[in-house]
Structure 1
Amino acid sequence: MHVLEDVKDATHKFYELPAEEKLKYSKEQSVTNSVRFGMSFTPEAEKALEWKDYLSLFFVSDDEAASLWPPVCRHQALEYIKSSETVVKKLLKILMNGLNVKEIDEAKESILMGSKRINLNYYPKCPNPELTVGVGRHSDVSTLTILLQDDIGGVYVRNTSSMKWVHIPTVNGSLVINVGDALQIMSNGKYKSVEHRVIANGNDNRIYVPIFVNPRPSDIIGPLAEVIESGKKPIYKNVLYSDYVKHFFRKAHDGKATVDFARV
């Protein structure tokens, strides 16, 4: 429990830093692509900017994190990533059983969770919340996303039956688990990635801390052999994961349209 509270506290501390200190980690100033501070999602492609700031930390190694991640939050972010690994492995074991994958060997583990990224997201109080969004509607490109919320709320998911937006309530000490596009593709559509959004808020500053559990950028993802060995027709092709991610980031949030990039 202290791990969750510590990373939330560290997120607040990062955003309390002077602007010039945070900007050291911006696209223009950061010494590495693994650490990126920014605002909105893809500003050059959006009609209306999203009302958020984010610090994105791609985990390469303990040594790189120790030398390049912001000191005010590096230890807490690392501890949160490492503490989540047991939960992630248990979830993936259950999900793989549903796909006739009896054992997650080293190769399977690599493609399911070979890389991880943690975001420290900050949604400042918005003077005109009806004019914008915190985060536009989208599904994640991950295998799984592990989301830690504060107690203010604001995350909505799309109910695929009614197509209505449903608020995800906050429960102290809980995590929200999303299936991402990579798992939808690898399961040949049996598991569906979750379309979600965050609304802007006129009353409070909010934070969210997601961990994105991903294939490695160099991995080729497509329907797993165990899924299509019974003769099921693949509905997704094999794609280089880094190409899929680049496609996601070169446009504004647009619901679940990204997954069509991998459709046969």
Structure 2
Amino acid sequence: MLSQRSQSFASTASVHAGADALPIIDISGLSSADAAVRQAVGREIRAACVANGFFVISGHGIDPALQAEVFAQSKAFFALPTEQKLALDKAHSVANRGYEAMGNQRLEAGSLPDLKEGYYMGRESAADAPDVLAGKFNHGPNQWSPAVPHFRPVMEAYLQQMTALGERLMQGLALSLELPEHYFADYCTDAMTTLRLLHYPPQPVNADPAQRGAGAHTDFGGLTMLLQDDAGGLQVWDDNRQVWLDVEPVPGTYNINLGDMFARWTNDLYRSTLHRVINRSGRERYSVPFFYSGNNDHRVSCLPGCCAPGEQPKYPPITVEEHYRDMYRRTYGG
């Protein structure tokens, strides 16, 4: 889930930072029986979150064969005729689930519409479930394409594994803040999650400078876990140097970043950083962001240790759902 809390960047200048642009953290230690090993991973996460809120994880335990199948099914879906994809337009959904057409989103003010198409899914809820009938934010049934028969089981299996990974990373974030390891257990109960498939065609050779695959933005919420192919194109803003870092994909890893809600939660101790995509690879690019947003009813207020003695929190308490509704109003109006 994305925010348009961005500024306009007239220049497309960037610095190729290679595979070491972001810290790579092996999170397998979070499953260790040794508390000292788990705490060491927490300290690495803290350093990355204070620096710019972006890091790369290995040792995550997600099945590589499942990752490959997610990409295969994503490519099969986006290869469908336009009319079949539009039949699943997310405008038909009460929960923002389904297809988003090419150029439907403009993440950066002053830029052209984003050069990408997407597909949204989340935790499945029946149309007559109490939370859906009550109009709870982002709760509802998914839309599934009958034209890609293996699409649903693959995506549901991936959703399940990624939800478990989100819970494990929240334990790491608790340790990073020197909080009890299961401090975020309530936040993780019945967590709102969004799986998004993205397809970027190659950037035209003579593209307008204002054309992006995805314009500069920060993410709305808690935790984003990005699986990307080897085409590259992700850029992260380096505030110290005032340049875009070209982040080279690292095989077998996930790019992790914090959203605006988590920054708010830490009183801006942890960063929610601008990023964008420009696909200059000359070929199709596919990526799969997973947004772990937490329990809608969970109350977000300044976390212990994130205010200096005598300092007041910058933000009033808010629930996860209130935060998301506010961000959607700012971004989309209404």
Of 24, 29, 37, 2:99 maps to 37
Residue 321 (structure 2) pairs with residue 242 (structure 1)? yes
The equivalent of 1:16 in structure 2 is: 79
Of 66, 73, 77, 1:3 maps to 66
Residue 87 (structure 2) pairs with residue 52 (structure 1)? no
Q: CA deviation at 1:82?
A: 1.6
Q: CA deviation at 1:230?
A: 5.7
144 and 41 in structure 1: CA distance in 2 versus 1, 3 angstrom threshold: farther
Letter in 2 for 1:76: V
Letter in 2 for 1:122: H
Q: CA deviation at 1:143?
A: 1.1
The equivalent of 2:214 in structure 1 is: 135
Letter in 2 for 1:68: Q
Letter in 1 for 2:78: Y
Unmatched segments (≥5 aa) in structure 2: 1-63, 128-138
Residue 145 (structure 2) pairs with residue 83 (structure 1)? no
Kept in 2, the 8 Å contact 1:42–1:252? The answer is no
The equivalent of 2:196 in structure 1 is: 119
The equivalent of 1:177 in structure 2 is: 256
Q: RMSD of aligned C-alpha atoms?
A: 3.0
138 and 188 in structure 1: CA distance in 2 versus 1, 3 angstrom threshold: same
Kept in 2, the 8 Å contact 1:221–1:239? The answer is yes
Kept in 1, the 8 Å contact 2:106–2:215? The answer is no
Identity across the alignment (%): 24
Matches of 1:152 and 1:202, distance apart in 2 = 6
Alignment of 1:178-257 (within 5 A): 178-201=257-280, 203-225=282-304, 227-228=306-307, 231-250=310-329
Kept in 2, the 8 Å contact 1:42–1:249? The answer is no
Letter in 1 for 2:193: K
SS of equivalent residue, structure 2 residue 87: helix
Once the two structures are superposed, residues 122-153 of structure 1 have per-residue CA deviations (whole angstroms, 9 ceiling, x without a partner) of 11123343440011111111211010101101
Kept in 1, the 8 Å contact 2:231–2:279? The answer is no
The equivalent of 1:25 in structure 2 is: 88
Matches of 2:239 and 2:94, distance apart in 1 = 39
Kept in 1, the 8 Å contact 2:121–2:142? The answer is no
